[in-house]
Amino acid sequence: MIHQLVYFSRNTVPGDDRVMLTNLREILSVAQRNNVRDGITGFLIFDKTWFVQILEGERIKVTETYTRIARDTRHSGASIMNARDVTDRSFPDWSMGGAMRSVEVQEIYLQHGIGSSMDPSKLNSTKVLQLALDLQAFDTAKRHGQRRAG
Ligand SMILES: Cc1cc2nc3c(=O)[nH]c(=O)nc-3n(C[C@H](O)[C@H](O)[C@H](O)COP(=O)(O)O)c2cc1C
Protein backbone atom coordinates (compact mmCIF):
# COMPACT_ATOMS: atom_id res chain seq x y z
CA MET A 1 0.00 0.00 0.00
CA ILE A 2 1.23 3.46 -0.92
CA HIS A 3 0.57 6.50 1.24
CA GLN A 4 -0.13 9.73 -0.60
CA LEU A 5 -0.08 13.11 1.11
CA VAL A 6 -1.02 16.46 -0.42
CA TYR A 7 -0.28 19.75 1.35
CA PHE A 8 0.02 23.41 0.56
CA SER A 9 2.11 26.15 2.14
CA ARG A 10 3.09 29.76 1.65
CA ASN A 11 6.25 30.33 -0.38
CA THR A 12 8.64 32.57 1.57
CA VAL A 13 11.59 32.17 -0.81
CA PRO A 14 12.58 35.77 -1.55
CA GLY A 15 13.71 37.30 -4.80
CA ASP A 16 12.58 37.77 -8.37
CA ASP A 17 11.67 34.92 -10.71
CA ARG A 18 15.26 34.06 -11.50
CA VAL A 19 16.49 33.99 -7.91
CA MET A 20 13.44 32.01 -6.91
CA LEU A 21 13.99 29.49 -9.67
CA THR A 22 17.62 29.04 -8.57
CA ASN A 23 16.53 28.46 -4.96
CA LEU A 24 13.85 26.08 -6.10
CA ARG A 25 16.29 24.07 -8.20
CA GLU A 26 18.37 23.67 -5.05
CA ILE A 27 15.35 22.51 -3.03
CA LEU A 28 14.42 20.05 -5.78
CA SER A 29 17.92 18.63 -6.07
CA VAL A 30 18.11 17.89 -2.32
CA ALA A 31 14.55 16.58 -2.40
CA GLN A 32 15.36 14.24 -5.29
CA ARG A 33 18.45 12.86 -3.56
CA ASN A 34 16.59 12.20 -0.29
CA ASN A 35 13.50 10.87 -2.01
CA VAL A 36 15.44 8.32 -4.04
CA ARG A 37 16.94 7.11 -0.74
CA ASP A 38 13.50 7.01 0.94
CA GLY A 39 11.44 5.59 -1.92
CA ILE A 40 9.39 8.78 -2.15
CA THR A 41 7.93 10.08 -5.41
CA GLY A 42 5.75 13.08 -6.10
CA PHE A 43 5.34 16.49 -7.60
CA LEU A 44 5.84 20.08 -6.47
CA ILE A 45 3.73 22.86 -7.97
CA PHE A 46 4.73 26.39 -7.11
CA ASP A 47 4.36 30.04 -7.91
CA LYS A 48 5.59 33.20 -6.18
CA THR A 49 3.11 32.78 -3.35
CA TRP A 50 2.35 29.10 -2.88
CA PHE A 51 3.68 25.58 -2.82
CA VAL A 52 1.45 22.59 -3.37
CA GLN A 53 3.20 19.24 -3.07
CA ILE A 54 2.26 15.61 -3.46
CA LEU A 55 4.35 13.05 -1.57
CA GLU A 56 3.89 9.31 -2.02
CA GLY A 57 5.62 6.25 -0.65
CA GLU A 58 5.77 4.09 2.45
CA ARG A 59 3.61 5.71 5.14
CA ILE A 60 6.41 6.11 7.69
CA LYS A 61 8.74 7.64 5.07
CA VAL A 62 6.06 10.03 3.85
CA THR A 63 5.36 11.14 7.43
CA GLU A 64 9.07 11.59 8.19
CA THR A 65 9.62 13.56 4.98
CA TYR A 66 6.58 15.76 5.51
CA THR A 67 7.63 16.48 9.11
CA ARG A 68 11.07 17.56 7.88
CA ILE A 69 9.64 19.69 5.06
CA ALA A 70 7.07 21.35 7.32
CA ARG A 71 9.89 22.70 9.53
CA ASP A 72 11.70 24.28 6.56
CA THR A 73 11.85 28.08 6.85
CA ARG A 74 11.62 28.56 3.08
CA HIS A 75 7.87 28.23 3.45
CA SER A 76 5.30 28.66 6.19
CA GLY A 77 1.95 27.39 7.32
CA ALA A 78 2.23 23.94 5.76
CA SER A 79 -1.24 22.46 5.88
CA ILE A 80 -2.32 18.97 4.83
CA MET A 81 -5.13 18.83 2.26
CA ASN A 82 -5.38 15.07 2.16
CA ALA A 83 -3.51 11.94 3.25
CA ARG A 84 -4.71 8.54 2.14
CA ASP A 85 -3.64 5.07 1.13
CA VAL A 86 -3.67 4.35 -2.59
CA THR A 87 -2.96 1.21 -4.60
CA ASP A 88 -0.63 2.85 -7.11
CA ARG A 89 1.68 5.81 -7.27
CA SER A 90 0.58 8.72 -9.48
CA PHE A 91 4.19 9.79 -10.14
CA PRO A 92 6.16 6.53 -10.25
CA ASP A 93 8.94 8.00 -12.39
CA TRP A 94 9.51 11.21 -10.45
CA SER A 95 11.59 11.32 -7.27
CA MET A 96 10.21 14.87 -7.18
CA GLY A 97 8.96 16.61 -10.25
CA GLY A 98 8.53 20.34 -10.12
CA ALA A 99 6.78 22.97 -12.14
CA MET A 100 6.90 26.69 -11.61
CA ARG A 101 3.92 28.60 -12.83
CA SER A 102 5.02 30.39 -15.99
CA VAL A 103 3.50 31.77 -19.17
CA GLU A 104 4.37 28.47 -20.84
CA VAL A 105 1.99 26.48 -18.62
CA GLN A 106 -0.61 29.21 -18.17
CA GLU A 107 -2.99 27.34 -20.49
CA ILE A 108 -2.87 24.25 -18.29
CA TYR A 109 -3.82 26.26 -15.21
CA LEU A 110 -6.68 27.87 -17.12
CA GLN A 111 -7.91 24.45 -18.25
CA HIS A 112 -8.14 23.57 -14.57
CA GLY A 113 -10.11 26.71 -13.80
CA ILE A 114 -7.20 28.44 -12.08
CA GLY A 115 -7.06 32.05 -13.26
CA SER A 116 -4.54 34.74 -12.51
CA SER A 117 -3.65 33.49 -9.05
CA MET A 118 -3.79 30.09 -7.46
CA ASP A 119 -5.64 29.87 -4.16
CA PRO A 120 -4.82 26.49 -2.58
CA SER A 121 -7.53 26.91 0.03
CA LYS A 122 -10.02 26.68 -2.86
CA LEU A 123 -8.40 23.56 -4.33
CA ASN A 124 -9.00 20.01 -3.23
CA SER A 125 -6.49 17.21 -3.49
CA THR A 126 -8.24 15.64 -6.49
CA LYS A 127 -7.87 18.88 -8.44
CA VAL A 128 -4.25 19.18 -7.34
CA LEU A 129 -3.53 15.65 -8.58
CA GLN A 130 -5.13 16.32 -11.95
CA LEU A 131 -3.23 19.58 -12.38
CA ALA A 132 0.06 17.94 -11.39
CA LEU A 133 -0.50 15.05 -13.82
CA ASP A 134 -1.13 17.52 -16.66
CA LEU A 135 1.95 19.58 -15.74
CA GLN A 136 3.96 16.36 -15.63
CA ALA A 137 2.67 15.34 -19.07
CA PHE A 138 3.56 18.77 -20.46
CA ASP A 139 7.06 18.53 -19.04
CA THR A 140 7.55 15.03 -20.44
CA ALA A 141 6.35 16.10 -23.90
CA LYS A 142 8.69 19.09 -23.80
CA ARG A 143 11.69 16.94 -22.90
CA HIS A 144 10.93 14.53 -25.73
CA GLY A 145 10.58 17.45 -28.11
CA GLN A 146 13.94 18.82 -27.02
CA ARG A 147 15.57 15.45 -27.55
CA ARG A 148 14.17 15.21 -31.07
CA ALA A 149 15.20 18.78 -31.86
CA GLY A 150 18.65 18.18 -30.43
C1 LIG B 1 8.50 23.35 -0.72
C2 LIG B 1 9.55 22.39 -0.27
C3 LIG B 1 9.51 21.07 -0.70
C4 LIG B 1 10.47 20.14 -0.28
N5 LIG B 1 10.39 18.84 -0.69
C6 LIG B 1 11.25 17.93 -0.20
C7 LIG B 1 11.12 16.56 -0.53
O8 LIG B 1 10.26 16.14 -1.31
N9 LIG B 1 12.01 15.71 0.02
C10 LIG B 1 12.99 16.10 0.87
O11 LIG B 1 13.74 15.26 1.34
N12 LIG B 1 13.14 17.40 1.18
C13 LIG B 1 12.30 18.32 0.68
N14 LIG B 1 12.46 19.65 0.99
C15 LIG B 1 13.66 20.05 1.76
C16 LIG B 1 13.51 19.76 3.24
O17 LIG B 1 12.73 20.78 3.85
C18 LIG B 1 14.89 19.73 3.91
O19 LIG B 1 15.58 20.92 3.67
C20 LIG B 1 15.75 18.59 3.41
O21 LIG B 1 15.00 17.41 3.35
C22 LIG B 1 16.96 18.39 4.30
O23 LIG B 1 17.77 17.45 3.69
P24 LIG B 1 19.24 17.14 4.26
O25 LIG B 1 19.02 16.69 5.69
O26 LIG B 1 19.73 16.06 3.36
O27 LIG B 1 19.99 18.43 4.15
C28 LIG B 1 11.52 20.57 0.58
C29 LIG B 1 11.55 21.90 1.00
C30 LIG B 1 10.59 22.81 0.59
C31 LIG B 1 10.66 24.23 1.06
Q: Strand (E) positions, the chain?
A: 2-11, 41-46, 50-57, 75-86, 97-100
**Structure confidence by residue, pLDDT tens digits, 56-96:** 999 999 999 999 999 999 999 999 999 999 999 999 998 99
98 pLDDT tier (thresholds 50, 70, 90): confident
Contact of 96 with 136, CB cutoff 8 Å? no
Cα–ligand 1 centroid distance for 13 (angstroms): 14
Contact status, residue 10 vs residue 59, Cβ threshold 8 Å: no
Atom 12 of ligand 1, nearest CA residue: 31
Q: Is the pLDDT of residue 147 over 70?
A: no
Our CA dihedral for 14, 19, 25, 31, rounded to 10 degrees, sits at: -20
In sequence order, the 6+-apart residues with CB closer than 8 A to the CB of 50 are 8, 9, 10, 11, 118, 120
In this predicted structure, what is the pLDDT of residue 149? 55
Residue 99 makes CB contacts below 8 A (sequence gap 6+) with 43, 44, 45, 46, 105, 132, 135, 136, 138, 139
**In percent, how much of the chain has pLDDT > 90?**
67
Residue with CA closest to ligand 1 atom 31: 74
Q: Residue 42 belongs to a domain with what CATH number? A: 3.30.70.100
Q: What global pTM score does this model have?
A: 0.93
Pocket test for ligand 1, best of 68, 89, 94, 128 (most atoms within 8 A of CB): 68
pLDDT band at 150 (very low <50, low <70, confident <90, very high): very low
In testing the pocket of ligand 1, which one of 23, 43, 69, 80 has its CB within 8 Å of the most ligand atoms?
A: 69
Range of the domain at 8: 2-149
Number of domains in the chain: 1
Region 18-35: mean pLDDT is: 92
pLDDT level of residue 2 (50, 70, 90 thresholds): very high
